[in-house]
Structure formats: C-alpha cells, structure tokens
Structure 1
Amino acid sequence: MYELIYADPPWSYRDKNKNGNRGAECKYPTMTLDDLKALPIASIAAENSILAMWWVPPQPQEALDLVAAWDFKLINMNGFTWHKQTALGKSFFGLGHWTRGNAECCLLAKRGKPQRACASVPQFLSAQIGRHSQKPAEVRDRLVQLAGDVPRIELFAREGAIGWDHWGNELPQTSVNLATLSQPPAQKLRQLTILEVA
C-alpha cells in the first residue's frame, strides 16, 4: 500500500482547439473524468496516505470530484505552485483560459491521518518548462521531504525516478500501458510495476 501517491492525470479539456497542434489531446491520450474516477486508486492507497495531484485551472470542480472518487479529502488546492520559466529564465507566456497561463498547481489531499515529516517545505517553485505537460523533478523531491521516505508511486509517469514505483504509458515496455485500464481492477493492480533506474 502506498502512503504517497503522486498523479498528473491526462485531463480531457472542454475545448478542442487543435490549432498548431497545441492542445493536450494532440500530445498524448487523454481520459474522461469518469474513466479517471474508475481507476482503483483507493485500493492501492494506505489507510493513512497523501495524494499530490496536478489539476487544470478550467476544471477545479472536476479535480475535487476526482479527489473524492479516489477516497481522499482536500488539504490544500495549491499545495505546490509551479511558476514556469523559459530556458533564459524569463516568465513563460503560455495560452490559458482568460489569463495567459504561466503557472500550474498541484493539490494535496489526505486519506486517514498521514503525518507530515517536514514543516518547512515551500509551496512555490520556479522551474524551466520541458516538453508538453512535463512537471519539474524537484516536486518529487519536495514530496519525499514532506511525507518522508514512505512507499510511493507516481501515476501517469513519463520518466523513472529512484525510490518511486511508476505507472504510465510513456514508460518502457516493462511498465503498465494505459490500454490495461479496461481490465478488472485486480488485474490492473497486479500490473503496477517498479521501474528500475540505474
């Protein structure tokens, strides 16, 4: 059972703007809210555990609904706020909804009564953008500092990290592919694998 679950769900946006091949659906397979809710996350979460989940600004209610479906309760809607920077260290000027997007937020939620290992983990970080939707590796480090060296998994992972179990369709062949989501929950859980990083 995992005491720390880190997720970057492939949110399906209401808009379908494919101009310039920019939207999320042009970059990777997205999932509906119902499909995300159906994932057996509650069954892999420890009785006392933390969920850290990236959410998209136009869908705050959907993020809260997903937290509840996975059997967690919100602690902080903006547990981490990532200020996006360019390679030159300038503020990134993205698209966005109403305002131009240059920040993303990761909420924190809990199940049971998890203990905070460190009370000095900062919320705000500035980091360079990578490929589409790639999150700063520093967030993983801050999560371990916050929760301690506990059993942990990254869902929808795009790369491996030492000390973490990983699940996602952009990982090597040894990892679970999103095609397995149509299988019964017990089968899905058996296919959660550890990606070894040299």
Structure 2
Amino acid sequence: MEAFLTSTLVVALAEIGDKTQLLAIVLAARFRRPIPIIAGILIATLANHCLAALVGERASFLLDGDWFRYIVAGTFILMAGWTLIPDTLEEKDQKIGSMGAFASTLISFFLVEMGDKTQLATITLGAQFKSVLWVTAGTTLGMMIANVPAVLLGQKIIDKVPLALVRAIAAAMFAIIGVWLFIKTMT
C-alpha cells in the first residue's frame, strides 16, 4: 500500500504544470470531447508507466545494494530541482494531426511522456518498491488526478492555480523523500 500511495502522491504533484498536463489542455481545447481524451490519457499512461515501473523493478534486482539505494535517493533530490523548472509545450509538441480525440491523445501522451520527469519518477519508484503493479496503479492514478481536471477545466485551472507554489510543494516532497531514503539507507 505504501508503494501505491507514495506513487500516487509523487506523480500527482510532479504532473502539475508538466508538459503532459499542458498537452491535456491543448487536446481538450482542440477536440472538446473529454471522455475520449481522458480514456486516451489513461491507456497511454498505463502502458508507459507499466513499462517504466518494470524497468525500475528489474534494475533494482540487478543493482541491489546500499549504493543503488543512494542513487535512488539522489534521483528524488534531482527530481526536486527539476520540478522547480516550469515546463512549456513547444510548437512541435502541439502537432496533433487529423486523428480523432482518442487516437491523438493516446499517441501524443505516450510519446510526450517518454523521458518525462513523471516517467523517470516511475522508474525510480519501481526500483524503490519493486512492485510493478502498485507503482503503475499509483502513478497512473496520480496522472489522472492531475490531468482529468486539466481536461475538464482547462484554462480556468491555469488562471487560478499558482503553479509556482504547487511546483515548490512538489519539489519539497521529492526532496523529503530523497532525504528520507538517504537516512533510511544509512541506518
């Protein structure tokens, strides 16, 4: 249960202001069909994060030892710094094409999430908890918590939520987890 709850919290916070959240807003504005967009986000995230959690879990078995736990802790601290840097959705990322809402969302979310901070967090969580199922379930729920409101409320959220404050809180959470892992590994 710790893997599920931690994964949900980490990704929900990391996703605020992330380029995939911005993509959700762009898709919602373009298609104005929330159900296919939400379904596309869900399936793309399940596929992407399942693979990421699996990579993390397998890497943890290959790299078992205190030194690897220090790397995982350091990764969380690096994620804290990365979270403070605002994402933008570049012009090249906005090309959606002539596909429908579901297909456009599925493909673009899967691809934009590659190498993204939430995917790297999922790999790290998979390595820490060694549970593909609970990490995937948690990170996917975290993505949905952050992105469903973006699809449904879009620009209204951006206008009202102070993203700098949310990024600072998310960064603090990553830093706390990293420090906690360092301390836990030292004892």
TM class by shorter-chain length? under 0.3
Q: Which has the higher contact order (CA 8 A, sep 6+)?
A: 2
TM-score (normalised: structure 1): 0.25
Task: Give the TM-score of the pair, scaled to structure 2.
Answer: 0.26
